[in-house]
């Protein structure tokens, strides 16, 4: 078990690595995304908000140092001292000239309370010079990447306009593994038309990808997104709370016990979230998962059978 939890939490892992409790602060490095700026497309992913999927990050008009101070002030009551991970969250955080990236990452790392970096990006935005920089920084600091895969199924990937193929993800994950740069794979649960069986296939793929961690997001319907427009034309069922909790437990059971679970639910903004509204009560979802794991007398990896060293990906789309 992992502390008092039945799954391998990020909290547990960071305490093990740093010997103390570590928080994350979300930053906006002022980036855009090739899937929004017209390079690949100008529509973006269907679910992406105008904040580039980072609703609670710092203010992009401010410097990284000031954003860190602002974010630390927000958690001052519960975390007045101690280290944090600087999380470059909004848009594509490796999509800029290399010197600009170096400057932003270095500025974050120079803050006395920053213990490491988390960098969200796309697998098609990791050219050699960016990997070199990440490897260099990773030699001195704790750094991980976050990749938004969302699904392995090409049909859904096209529907959500992800803009890169599964092969691209495999290529990037292989390069990251070779350079020993840890990465976290994001999946979205409840995408239109996806069955539980298909979602579990995506999880099994993550097991084989060499991911250090996984982030599970409930699909949020956010006002003003392309997903909202799609929903008006093609209404689909949003997940129910019990269904979601049960699915999370099914996922944890087949997940590699080594994989660090960074998140099992999402953060929706009360002002813009159309549904599912029950997801605003995050505490009750987390409690529901803990309770369900206990009632089923189960835990992460109970039914994990795959050999994580197996690099023979089975691409279900080919």
**Residues within the interface to ligand SF4 (CB under 6 A):** 33, 35-36, 44-45, 48, 52-53, 91-92, 122, 148
CB 92 within 8 A of CB 122: yes
The residue among 13 and 146 lying less far from ligand SF4, judged by its C-beta, is 146
CB of 302 to ligand SF4, least distance (A): 32
The residue among 49 and 256 lying less far from ligand SF4, judged by its C-beta, is 49
The residue among 33 and 86 lying less far from ligand SF4, judged by its C-beta, is 33
Q: Output phi, psi for 182, to 5 deg.
A: -65, 145
The residue among 50 and 76 lying less far from ligand SF4, judged by its C-beta, is 50
CB of 148 to ligand SF4, least distance (A): 5
**Alpha helices for the chain (secondary structure H):** 10-18, 64-74, 98-109, 128-138, 154-159, 166-178, 196-209, 226-233, 241-254, 282-295
Parallel, antiparallel or unpaired: strands 84-88 and 114-121: parallel
CB of 7 to ligand SF4, least distance (A): 26
Copy the structure tokens of residue 84: 């944090």
CB of 92 to ligand SF4, least distance (A): 6
d(CA 206, CA 21): 27
CB of 45 to ligand SF4, least distance (A): 3
CB 215 within 8 A of CB 179: no
CB 86 within 8 A of CB 110: no
CB of 35 to ligand SF4, least distance (A): 4
The residue among 53 and 151 lying less far from ligand SF4, judged by its C-beta, is 53
Non-local (6+) Cβ contacts of 105 within 8 A are 88, 117, 119, 133, 137
The residue among 37 and 243 lying less far from ligand SF4, judged by its C-beta, is 37
CB 312 within 8 A of CB 269: no
Q: Which 3 state secondary structure label does DSSP give 67?
A: helix
Q: How does DSSP assign 207-267, residue by residue? A: HHHT-SEEEEEEPPEETTSHHHHHHHHS--PPPPHHHHHHHHHHHHHHS-TTSEEEESS--
The residue among 122 and 220 lying less far from ligand SF4, judged by its C-beta, is 122
The residue among 45 and 216 lying less far from ligand SF4, judged by its C-beta, is 45
CB of 173 to ligand SF4, least distance (A): 16
CB of 121 to ligand SF4, least distance (A): 8
């Amino acid at each position: 078990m992992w502390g008092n939890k039945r799954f391998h939490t990020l909290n547990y892992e960071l305490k093990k690595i740093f010997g103390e409790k570590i928080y994350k602060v979300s930053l906006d490095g002022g980036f855009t995304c090739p899937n929004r700026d017209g390079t690949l497309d100008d529509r973006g992913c269907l679910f992406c908000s105008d904040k580039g999927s980072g609703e609670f990050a710092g203010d992009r008009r401010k410097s990284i140092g000031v954003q860190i101070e602002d974010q630390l002030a927000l958690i001052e009551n519960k975390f007045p001292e101690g280290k944090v991970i600087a999380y470059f969250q909004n848009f594509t955080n490796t999509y800029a000239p290399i010197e600009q990236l170096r400057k932003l990452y270095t500025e974050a790392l120079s803050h006395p309370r920053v213990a490491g970096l988390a960098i969200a990006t796309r697998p098609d935005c990791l050219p050699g010079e960016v990997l070199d920089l990440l490897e260099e920084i990773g030699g001195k600091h704790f750094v991980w990447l976050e990749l938004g895969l969302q699904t392995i199924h090409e049909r859904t990937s096209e529907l959500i306009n992800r803009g890169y193929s599964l092969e691209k993800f495999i290529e990037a994950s292989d390069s990251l593994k070779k350079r020993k740069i840890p990465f976290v794979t994001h999946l979205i649960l409840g995408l239109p038309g996806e069955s539980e069986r298909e979602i579990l296939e995506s999880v099994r793929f993550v097991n084989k990808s060499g991911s250090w961690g996984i982030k599970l997001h409930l699909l949020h319907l956010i006002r003003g997104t392309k997903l909202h427009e799609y929903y008006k034309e093609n209404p689909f069922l949003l997940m129910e709370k019990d269904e979601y909790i049960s699915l999370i437990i099914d996922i944890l059971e087949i997940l590699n016990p080594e994989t660090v679970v960074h998140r099992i639910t999402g953060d929706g903004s009360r002002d813009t979230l159309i549904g599912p509204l029950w997801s605003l009560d995050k505490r009750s979802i987390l409690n529901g998962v803990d309770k369900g794991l206990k009632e089923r007398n189960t835990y992460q990896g109970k039914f994990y059978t795959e050999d994580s060293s197996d690099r023979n990906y089975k691409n279900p789309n080919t």
